[in-house]
Amino acid sequence: MGAALREWASGRDDVTIWGYLQGRELSEVYASADLFVTAGRAETFGLTILEAQASGLPVVAVASGAAPEAVAPGAGVLVVPDDPGALTRAIAGLAGQNLRAMGRLARQFMEVNYGWEKTFGKLFAHYERLLGCLPRESSGATGRQIAGA
């Protein structure tokens, strides 16, 4: 985390910055939050977004990586990447909204679209498609010459 952000937050009682969290600590933070905000633009699967929504949190995220697919319709806001003003306006725009209702929508979206059965069903379908593209018989060649052969 950047030193300037830590310095700014140190004088505030309404902002907390954590380091890496997992397990019980992470679930407790999600349970105590009202909103999940991420400016990360490189999440390929969007796991943090999915975890937050599974915990019943609305999301503000940048429209990059997996976020456009992962953020539940009606339960979050997508903003232009690398635009702090857009992120700030999106967060402020949620003030006065029913965040609990949005969080319920986020949780329902997760249950319908990312439950274990559906997620693994999609994953195994990808594997089956990939395996279907492989040649059925292999010559055993590895693509390189073996010395002495």
The per-residue pLDDT for 135 is 60
pLDDT single digits (tens) 77-125: 999 999 999 999 999 999 999 999 999 999 999 999 988 888 888 888 8
Compute the radius of gyration of the chain from its Cα atoms.
Answer: 21
Percentage above 90 pLDDT, the chain:
55
DSSP 47-83: HHHHHHHHTT--EEEESSTTHHHHSPTTSEEEE-TT-
Q: Where are the domains of the chain?
A: 33-133
Q: What is the pTM of this model?
A: 0.75
The domain defined by 33-133 folds into Rossmann fold (3.40.50)
